[in-house]
């Protein structure tokens, strides 16, 4: 069983919809990540939160809005998405603060389809 | 620029044979961590093994071992006695000082019965 939980597992949304992806971890990790993964490609980093503060934004379009309400929760708010945003969205956590020996622990992902 | 290179897009290996997946990296950092992940077709990313830049011993985890050659900047994954369930995409990754983890393009491993 994964220790990082993502909901929903699948999401289909129209281009005018607003939806949110949720991620939760209870490992005491202080860094949380959103990655986007297209088919047959490696995960691409979108955002990093370190100690509940946004530390990295990889020039992601504003139609993706991350939120970290507390150290265990990470949300990704979606609005006015495009069909090319369809992908697997992976949440991950790690100990954070330059813990080189702390691997990312991934959730099972949300498979998003934008119609 | 820091990057990870995996030169084998796909590999076919007979069951029970050992397999080596190549990974080279480029960084000017002195401190970094190297990881291997497995991604089956179901999509989850499974952590396999870690090697720190200051670790002198090669990491091992069960059937997985990491052949770390720091001077050559390589961190190859070795899977001993491969099994059908090892068929998956394998990603090499590096963690940098700013908590950013970058991934290679991956190697698709097919284990043949």
pLDDT by position in tens, chain B (length 113): 678 999 999 999 999 999 999 999 999 888 888 999 999 998 889 999 999 888 889 999 999 999 999 999 999 999 999 999 999 999 999 987 777 788 999 999 999 99
Give A102's pLDDT tier (boundaries 50, 70, 90).
Answer: confident
Give A99's pLDDT tier (boundaries 50, 70, 90).
Answer: low
State residue A97's pLDDT score.
Answer: 64
The encoded tokens of residue B109 equal 């491993």
Per residue in A17-64, pLDDT (tens digit) is 999 999 999 999 999 999 999 998 999 999 999 999 999 899 999 999
Question: What is the average pLDDT score of chain A?
Answer: 92
Q: What's the gap in Å between the CA of B44 and the closest CA on chain A?
A: 5
Q: Is B103 on the interface with A (CB under 8 A)?
A: yes
Give A100's pLDDT tier (boundaries 50, 70, 90).
Answer: low
Look at residue A2 and tell me whether its pLDDT is greater than 90. Answer: no
Give A104's pLDDT tier (boundaries 50, 70, 90).
Answer: confident
Look at residue A12 and tell me whether its pLDDT is greater than 90. Answer: yes
CA dist A70 and B103 (Å) reads 27
CB contacts < 8 Å between A and B, how many? 70
Task: Please report, to the nearest 10 degrees, the dihedral formed by the alpha carbons of residues A86, A90, A96, A101 taken in order.
Answer: -120
State residue B99's pLDDT score.
Answer: 72
- Find the radius of gyration of the CA atoms of chain B: 14
∠ CA B111-B112-B113, nearest 5°, is 120
State residue B95's pLDDT score.
Answer: 85
Instruction: Report the pLDDT averaged over residues A74-100.
Output: 90
State residue A107's pLDDT score.
Answer: 94
State residue A103's pLDDT score.
Answer: 84
Look at residue A101 and tell me whether its pLDDT is greater than 90. Answer: no
Instruction: Please choose, from the candidates A4, A13, A3, the residue with its C-alpha nearest in 3D space to the C-alpha of residue A83.
Output: A13
Name chain B contacts of A101, Cβ cutoff 8 Å: 33, 50, 52
The encoded tokens of residue B93 equal 């990754």
The encoded tokens of residue B80 equal 């001993």
CA dist B67 and B70 (Å) reads 10
∠ CA A48-A51-A55, nearest 5°, is 35
Lowest-confidence region among A1-5, A86-90, A107-111, B64-68: A1-5
Least CA distance to A41: which residue of chain B?
B105
Q: What's the gap in Å between the CA of B109 and the closest CA on chain A?
A: 13
Beta carbons within 10 angstroms of residue A14's beta carbon: 10
Instruction: Please choose, from the candidates A85, A109, A44, A13, the residue with its C-alpha nearest in 3D space to the C-alpha of residue B42.
Output: A109
């Amino acid at each position: 069983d994964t220790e990082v939980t993502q909901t929903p597992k699948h999401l289909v949304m129209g281009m005018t919809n607003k939806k949110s992806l949720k991620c939760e971890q209870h490992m005491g990790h202080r860094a949380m990540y959103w990655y986007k993964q297209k088919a047959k490609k490696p995960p691409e980093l979108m955002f990093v939160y370190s100690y509940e503060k946004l530390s990295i934004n990889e020039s992601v379009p504003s139609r993706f809005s991350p939120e970290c309400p507390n150290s265990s929760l990470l949300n990704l708010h979606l609005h006015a998405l495009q069909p090319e945003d369809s992908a697997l969205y992976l949440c991950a956590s790690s100990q954070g603060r330059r813990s080189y020996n702390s691997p990312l622990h991934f959730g099972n992902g949300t498979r998003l389809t934008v119609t | 620029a820091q990057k990870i290179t995996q030169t084998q897009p796909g590999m076919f290996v007979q069951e029970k044979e050992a397999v080596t997946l190549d990974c080279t990296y480029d960084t000017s950092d002195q401190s970094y961590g190297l990881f291997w992940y497995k991604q089956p077709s179901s999509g989850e990313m499974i952590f396999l093994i870690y090697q720190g830049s200051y670790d002198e011993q090669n990491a091992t985890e069960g059937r997985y071992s990491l052949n770390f050659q720091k001077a050559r900047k390589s961190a190859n994954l070795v899977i001993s006695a491969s099994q059908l369930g090892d068929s998956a995409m394998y990603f090499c990754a590096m963690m940098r000082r700013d908590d950013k983890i970058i991934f290679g393009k991956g190697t698709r491993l097919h284990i043949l019965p």
